Chains A and B, each alone.
Chain A
Amino acid sequence: MRGLRRSSCATVITVVLALAGSGCNQDIPTFGDLSPNTPASGDAGAANWRMIVLSGPADFPVPAPAPATSDAYRAELATIKAAQGAITDAQRASIEYWSGGGVLRWNEIMRELVAKADLPPAPRNGTYPAPDPENPFADPNFPFGNPPYAARAYSYVSLAQYEALKVAWFYKYQYNRPSPSKVDSGVQALMPTTDLPAYPSEDAVLSGVSAELLKILFPTSTEEITRRAAEQREAALLSGKAAASDIAAGLALGKAIAPVFAARAAADGFRTAGGSPAATQALSNATAAKGEVPWHSLETPPRPPMLPAFGQVRAWMMTPTDIVRERPGPPPSTSSAQMQQELAEVKNAVDNISRAQLAIVYKWADGVSTPTPPGHWNAIASEYVAGAHFSEVRAARAFALLNMAMHDAAVGCWDVKFTYFNPRPSQLDPNIRTAIGLPNFPAYTSGHSTFSAAAAAVLSYLFPSGASAFAAMKEEAAISRLYGAIHYRSDIEVGKDHGQRIGGYTVSFARQDGAN
Chain B
Amino acid sequence: MRPKALLPAVLLALTAARVSAQTIEDSVMMRKNSLCTAVLYSHDRWESYWEGPLKRVNGNIGKITTQSVAGMVDYGVTDRLNVIASLPYVWTEASQGVLHGVSGWQDLTVAAKFNLLETDFTRSGSLRTIVAVSAGTPIGDYTPDYYPLSLGSASNRLSGRLTLSFRAKRGWYLDGTSAYTWRDNVTLDRASYYTNDQLFFSDQVAMPDVFDYTVRAGYRRPGLDIPISFSQQITRGGGDIRRQDAPFVSNRMNYQKVDALVTYDLPMMKNLSVRAAGSYVVRGRNVGQATTVTAGLLYTFHFGS
| Residue from A5, A28, A116, A433 in contact with B204 in the complex, judged by beta carbons closer than 8 Å | A28
Question: Would B201 and A30 count as touching, CB distance under 8 A?
Answer: yes
Chain B residues with CB under 8 A of A108 = 199, 201
CA distance A299 to B195 in the complex (A): 24
**A-binding segment of B66-74, B182-190, B255-263, B296-304:** B182-190
Chain A residues with CB under 8 A of B53 = none
Shortest C-beta distance, B293 to chain A (Å), equals: 25
Chain B residues with CB under 8 A of A119 = 242-245
**A-binding segment of B10-18, B91-99, B221-229:** B91-99
Chain A residues with CB under 8 A of B141 = 355
Question: Would A28 and B206 count as touching, CB distance under 8 A?
Answer: yes
**B-binding segment of A72-80, A361-369, A462-470:** A361-369
Give the interface size class of chain B: 35 or more
| Residue from A2, A29, A111, A120 in contact with B202 in the complex, judged by beta carbons closer than 8 Å | A29
Question: Would A363 and B190 count as touching, CB distance under 8 A?
Answer: yes
Shortest C-beta distance, A482 to chain B (Å), equals: 14
B34 at interface, CB cutoff 8 A: no
- Where chain A touches its partner, the secondary structure class is loop
Shortest C-beta distance, A49 to chain B (Å), equals: 30
Known: A32-B201, A108-B201. A437 touches B100 (CB 8 A): no
Shortest C-beta distance, A389 to chain B (Å), equals: 20
Residues of chain A in range 420-471 having any CB-CB distance to chain B below 8 Å: 426, 432-435, 437-438
- Where chain B touches its partner, the secondary structure class is loop
Nearest CB in chain B to that of A358: its residue: B143
Nearest CB in chain B to that of A144: its residue: B244
Question: Would A301 and B192 count as touching, CB distance under 8 A?
Answer: no
Known: A12-B131, A115-B194, A119-B242. A28 touches B200 (CB 8 A): yes
A44 at interface, CB cutoff 8 A: no
Question: Would B189 and A363 count as touching, CB distance under 8 A?
Answer: yes
Question: Would B194 and A116 count as touching, CB distance under 8 A?
Answer: yes
Question: Would A298 and B98 count as touching, CB distance under 8 A?
Answer: yes
Question: Would A12 and B246 count as touching, CB distance under 8 A?
Answer: no
A293 at interface, CB cutoff 8 A: no
CA distance A438 to B116 in the complex (A): 54
A204 at interface, CB cutoff 8 A: no
| Residue from A9, A350, A369 in contact with B194 in the complex, judged by beta carbons closer than 8 Å | A369
Chain B residues with CB under 8 A of A16 = 160, 162, 180
A506 at interface, CB cutoff 8 A: no
Question: Would A140 and B244 count as touching, CB distance under 8 A?
Answer: yes
A404 at interface, CB cutoff 8 A: no
CA distance A6 to B97 in the complex (A): 56
Question: Would A434 and B190 count as touching, CB distance under 8 A?
Answer: no
Question: Would B243 and A432 count as touching, CB distance under 8 A?
Answer: no
Shortest C-beta distance, A365 to chain B (Å), equals: 7
**B-binding segment of A18-26, A35-43, A154-162:** A18-26
Chain B residues with CB under 8 A of A141 = 243
Question: Would A300 and B59 count as touching, CB distance under 8 A?
Answer: yes
| Residue from B184, B202, B243, B244 in contact with A28 in the complex, judged by beta carbons closer than 8 Å | B202
| Residue from B99, B158, B185 in contact with A26 in the complex, judged by beta carbons closer than 8 Å | B185
Question: Would B201 and A29 count as touching, CB distance under 8 A?
Answer: yes
Known: A119-B244, A123-B59, A433-B101. A370 touches B206 (CB 8 A): no
Shortest C-beta distance, B84 to chain A (Å), equals: 17
Residues of chain B in range 74-96 having any CB-CB distance to chain A below 8 Å: 96
CA distance A301 to B58 in the complex (A): 9
B139 at interface, CB cutoff 8 A: no
Question: Would B116 and A8 count as touching, CB distance under 8 A?
Answer: yes
CA distance A139 to B245 in the complex (A): 13
B266 at interface, CB cutoff 8 A: no
* Chain B residues close to A by CB (< 8 Å): 56, 59-60, 62, 96-101, 114, 116-117, 129, 131, 141, 143, 145-146, 158, 160, 162, 180, 182, 184-185, 188-195, 197-202, 204-206, 209, 242-246
* Chain A residues close to B by CB (< 8 Å): 2, 5-6, 8-9, 12-13, 15-16, 19-20, 23-33, 108, 111-112, 115-116, 118-123, 139-141, 298-301, 350, 355, 358-360, 362-363, 365, 368-371, 379, 426, 432-435, 437-438, 485
Other contacts beyond A27-B206, A31-B201, A434-B99: 6, CB < 8 A: A26-B185, A28-B204, A29-B202, A120-B244, A350-B100, A438-B98
